[in-house]
Amino acid sequence: MRLSHRGFFDPLAHRAPCDGQGLKGSKRQARFLVATRIPTLPIMIKTLLTLLLFSLPCLAHQHGAVTDMTTAAKTFLASLDDEQKKKVMHEFADEERENWHYVPMDRSGIRLDALSSHQQALAHSLLSSALSAKGHLTAATIMNLEQVLRDQGGDPDFRDPGAYFLALFGSPSAEGSWGWRLEGHHLSLNLTIVDGHFAQPTPHFFGSNPGEVGEGPLQGTRVLGSIEDAARTLARSLHRQGKHVRFSNDPPREILTRQNRSVEALAAEGLEVAEMNEDERKNLIELVRAIASFHRKELLSISGDELASAQFGWAGDFEKGAQHYFRIQTPDFLIEYANTQNRGNHAHLVWRDFDRDFGRDVLQEHIKEGH
């Protein structure tokens, strides 16, 4: 594991300053939890758990999202040498900004395991400026699943928890237009700021292979399990009432929008929200909010009104472990979830916005106004 050659960062040694109270107690609690309750976790996930646990007071974001991201990005850039900056920095107009993927491959940007431990800590500070604590831990766990696959016999050049790439597009500024991307196997985060205003955190992709870890230190881990279970519970309940939520017995092999740079609405399938009762609508809203909650609430939040015209569709069986697919589609955005590979133990989750991916709608207005 390349990270172990360099030593994954020690957040207790390299954390950013914080004005939160009770920091010493938080550190002691984090060390106790990580050392005594989860002693067998690989070092990567242990250190990230430590970071999240002892810094919870700091992760209650003290400033606006753009301010936090700008500060974190500038601090990260200041830690790099000239060669590292060449790898990280791209023009904002570079078409690479929309060249997103979720498969294992080399990407533009700098690999996390090519950074020093201090620089890695600063890179994760940038992640935490946009993600919730839940989202940051989910991203870290997805990275660590690459080690699980390697331990199960995967090609070490192909299954690498260090092969996640950070790229910046444009110069971080509280007034300007810029963006950043953190991406690797089963993880793609794309954040866009236009004229100092946050534009969009999509597309975002979270994946999990295995969907449920069957052995080893992370046995039983289901990175996307709570989302899958909530969707299944709702779909099965609707189906048992004779409501037309299942549109096919045979789920597609993959999310239908793949890695397309832009997407259009898919065929209308499943059940409309108008056909649901109050509890069912509430459960659908909570499901969508659970997916949105990987990000800070001010970056991605959904109201019930935004789901008034939504459709919820299911394909496949309703039993846990069976191959299945679901999607939630509104006039504005689409959520797809497919757990069909590896006999239903390999999950993909994506959120796409038809007009706003990569901040396109705001950028178009920006151009029209002659800026």
Q: Which residue positions in the chain have pLDDT lower than 70?
A: 1-63, 363-371
**pLDDT of res. 22:** 34
The residues pairing with 337 across neighbouring beta strands, listed in sequence order, are: 326, 349
In the prediction, which pLDDT does 55 show?
A: 44
pLDDT tens column, 275-321 = 999 999 999 999 999 999 999 999 999 999 999 999 999 999 999 99
- pLDDT of 63: 66
Q: What is the pLDDT of residue 174?
A: 87
CB 317 within 8 A of CB 324: yes
CA atoms of 62 and 43, how far apart (whole Å)? 29
Q: Considering only CA atoms, which of 337, 304, 341, 294 is closest in space to residue 138?
A: 294
CA dihedral 284, 290, 296, 298 (to 10 degrees): 10
In degrees, to the nearest 5, what angle opens at C-alpha 109 toward C-alphas 106 and 115?
100
- The two structure tokens encoding residue 265: 């609405």
Predicted pLDDT of residue 363: 64
